[in-house]
Structure 1
Amino acid sequence: MPLGLAARTRTALIALAPGLGLTLAMALGAMALARGLGVAALTPMGIAMLGGVALRNLTALPARFEPGVAFTLKRILRAGVVLLGFRLTLGDVAAVGAPGVAVIAVVLGATFVFTKALGRAMGVERGLAELIAAGTSVCGASAVLAVNTVTRAEEEDVAYAIACVTLFGTLSMLGFPLLANALGMDAAQYGLWAGAAIHEVAQVVGAAFSQGEAAGQAGTVAKLTRVMMLAPLILVLGGLARARGGAAGGRAPAPWFVFGFLAAVGANSTGLVPAAAHPPVAEATGLMLTAALAAMGLGTDLRKLRLKGLRPLLLGAAGWLFISSLAAGLVRLV
């Protein structure tokens, strides 16, 4: 390795170490606590998420932790999602089927249109309403950041939308498992519901796997199908922005981690992955995703919800209730 590259790598690792170490420590602690308590509803991912939110909002987290926390939320999360593919086969993916894909597409489109229209009626700024609509209908903070490449909203709007969708996605992650039995859904139905309605990838994983392996697999596949619909949404929004005369130089991001996930599924389906490798891969996956939930909590500043007043928060709540109820109804139909 060239000397200059080695020095830059060492500097980068030193910058990442505090935040990365914190999220991994929180993940290990959450996993140990969940095993010790033995309560099904208290999953390691849920504990890590709540712990991160509490730590961020009750203490002043030093700035030196931020690079590692951001790295965990972006890179470690996506690596964990790729590893999830080694727990699935092509038969599991096909189980979602055309009806499942149709549910996901209808829920996404209807939620986006509903939230944008309601935002206009409520007097919420167009850019902020569009970001909340994208985060609610597609994939949380990632969709907010991606859609903002064409929406060009203010930085405060981006921060508010991320905080808003993270809050309601967290409520879904904690509440959906409690509603699963009351709604009479089987594992596949519950997983499809979680994947079609919950905001973030990590939140879907936390909620879906809390109801077992089959629900977790269905939720993961459904959610990643939904994530892949982000690119066409951005292309449509970019075209509308150009039609309005706005600057829309953003490009639809390639969800490479989704393709990595599909490659892992393909490798597992062909028998290339030995059975002995499955347990350690599952442990690594759980640790990565739990650390990502801790990072998400550490990045959730509830005070940001006060920056724009109550109306955008009510808009986020309405979108959350809309997508949850619509997805549940359609899942029961199919």
Structure 2
Amino acid sequence: MPAQAAPGLRQRALDVLPGLTLTIAIAAAAFVLRQMPGVAVFSPMILAILIGIAFHNLVGTPAGAKAGVVFSLRRVLRLAIILLGLQLTAAQIVEVGAAGIAIIVATLVATFAFTVRLGRAMGVEPKLAELIAAGTSICGASAVIATNTVTRAPDEDVAYAVACVTVFGSIAMFAYPMLPALLGLDAHAYGLWAGASIHEIAQVVAASFQGGQAAGEFGTVAKLSRVMLLAPVVLSLGFLATRRAAKLGHDHAAAKAPVPWFVLGFIALVGINSVVSIPAEAKSVIVMATTFMLSVALAAMGLETDIRKLKAKGLRPLLLGLAAFIFIAGFSLTLIKLVG
């Protein structure tokens, strides 16, 4: 049996190789491009999807690359999300404190619910609204592509949602550092606000450290605690998708499909990272590898994105992303002021 299976595995590997090579090359280009002046404020993930979109729409994705692009979008993505667990520990969550965690959780839940409901009222497609809600309320592009494992929206919806969280997260990254004195926020409060409301981890780091070392460190920990909530959100969405499938009369197998088992791997690695001390050098390599794999996945997403289909969606999803951005900033700030 193994001898018979080997040729099939080799053939699948050969089928995957062209597309995987292409997505890896785009991710590498994103890392190189990020070294240029003025570009470093954007994460390699964002640059990767932009390069992928440009390549697909200007050059065209070769038909022979399809299998590897799909592999990058599924297998590589899931492995990267599992490895995200090694960036979090239970001790980091304790550092934020009960009040900080309560603010982060309340902000996430309120923002997600607000965005989905407003999207429904505005006539935005439900799956796209869920992706914008996840990207805004949790952790930007990573949350968008993780959520899509259960939402199963078209690739154009994913690209649109990533664009939304990139635009408004970038605005927050530049605007927040000008506001602490005006809003009467000390380093701790400012760091918590940045960590609880700005979209991407890289954007939080850039914005929070503008408020000083203490604000930067606390903002980063607050943001990582928020990333931890990616697991329960995706699991909950998978459960809701299962219920919806059952109500619509879909078969049992279809109803079970959305369960994101890779999230359990994410949770397991958080547990391991909480009890096992990983050397700083090894951890930095893991963080870099995780970011690279996420960039590979987003490069694949770009290679599957047709700009004409994005234009057809109009401005309503973008306005929804703006409303979600304003809501999460205002809601989290209000809670921080109330709690003191």
TM range (shorter): 0.7 to 0.9
| Shift in alpha-carbon separation, 1:144–1:256, aligned structure 2, 3 A | closer
Return the offset for 1:284.
Answer: 1.6
Q: Does residue 41 of structure 1 match 2:41?
A: yes
Q: Does residue 93 of structure 1 match 2:86?
A: no
State the alpha-carbon separation in 2 of the partners of residues 234 and 285 from structure 1: 23
- Residue type of the alignment partner of 1:171: V
- Residues 103-140 of structure 1: CA deviation (Å, up to 9, x unaligned): 11111112111211221xxxx7xxxx222222222353
Return the offset for 1:328.
Answer: 0.8
Structure 2 partner of 1:21: 21
State the alpha-carbon separation in 2 of the partners of residues 161 and 32 from structure 1: 27
| Shift in alpha-carbon separation, 1:236–1:118, aligned structure 2, 3 A | same
Task: Answer whether contact 1:164 1:313 (CA < 8 A) is retained.
Answer: no
SS of match in other structure, 2:129: helix
Return the offset for 1:179.
Answer: 3.1
Corresponding residue to 2:108 among 104, 121, 130: 104
Task: Answer whether contact 2:19 2:66 (CA < 8 A) is retained.
Answer: yes
Structure 2 unpaired stretches of 5+: 135-142, 181-188, 210-215
| Shift in alpha-carbon separation, 1:314–1:280, aligned structure 2, 3 A | closer
Structure 1 partner of 2:157: 161
State the alpha-carbon separation in 2 of the partners of residues 230 and 304 from structure 1: 26
State the alpha-carbon separation in 2 of the partners of residues 171 and 21 from structure 1: 29
Return 41-50 or 137-146, whichever deviates more.
137-146
Structure 2 partner of 1:253: 258
Return the offset for 1:17.
Answer: 1.0
| Shift in alpha-carbon separation, 1:144–1:276, aligned structure 2, 3 A | closer
Task: Please list every run of at least 4 consecutive aligned residues from structure 1 whose deviation after the TM superposition is greater than 6 angstroms.
Answer: 240-243
Corresponding residue to 2:289 among 281, 284, 296: 284
Return the offset for 1:277.
Answer: 2.1
Structure 1 partner of 2:119: 115
Corresponding residue to 2:167 among 162, 168, 171: 171
- Residue type of the alignment partner of 1:189: W
| Shift in alpha-carbon separation, 1:43–1:274, aligned structure 2, 3 A | closer
SS of match in other structure, 1:300: coil
- Residues 8-40 of structure 1: CA deviation (Å, up to 9, x unaligned): 221121111112112222222222332354754
State the alpha-carbon separation in 2 of the partners of residues 285 and 144 from structure 1: 18
Structure 1 length-normalised TM: 0.77
- Residues 61-112 of structure 1: CA deviation (Å, up to 9, x unaligned): 1122222222223222232232232232212234361221111111111211
- Residue type of the alignment partner of 2:297: A
CA-atom RMSD in angstroms: 3.2
Structure 1 partner of 2:212: none
SS of match in other structure, 1:253: coil
- Aligned pairs for 1:111-150 (under 5 A) are 111-119=115-123, 129-138=125-134, 139-140=143-144, 143=147, 146-147=150-151
- Residue type of the alignment partner of 2:131: G
- Residue type of the alignment partner of 2:87: R
State the alpha-carbon separation in 2 of the partners of residues 281 and 177 from structure 1: 25
| Shift in alpha-carbon separation, 1:186–1:15, aligned structure 2, 3 A | farther
| Shift in alpha-carbon separation, 1:82–1:172, aligned structure 2, 3 A | farther
Q: Does residue 316 of structure 1 match 2:320?
A: no
Structure 1 partner of 2:226: 222
SS of match in other structure, 1:318: helix
Structure 1 unpaired stretches of 5+: 149-156, 199-203
- Residues 195-225 of structure 1: CA deviation (Å, up to 9, x unaligned): xxx5xxxxx3454455578555543542451
Structure 1 partner of 2:273: 268
Return the offset for 1:238.
Answer: 6.2
| Shift in alpha-carbon separation, 1:159–1:290, aligned structure 2, 3 A | closer
State the alpha-carbon separation in 2 of the partners of residues 12 and 113 from structure 1: 43
SS of match in other structure, 2:34: helix
State the alpha-carbon separation in 2 of the partners of residues 297 and 14 from structure 1: 22
State the alpha-carbon separation in 2 of the partners of residues 43 and 232 from structure 1: 28
Q: How many residues align?
A: 304
- Residues 308-328 of structure 1: CA deviation (Å, up to 9, x unaligned): x4xx43331232112111111
- Residue type of the alignment partner of 1:75: R
State the alpha-carbon separation in 2 of the partners of residues 143 and 281 from structure 1: 22
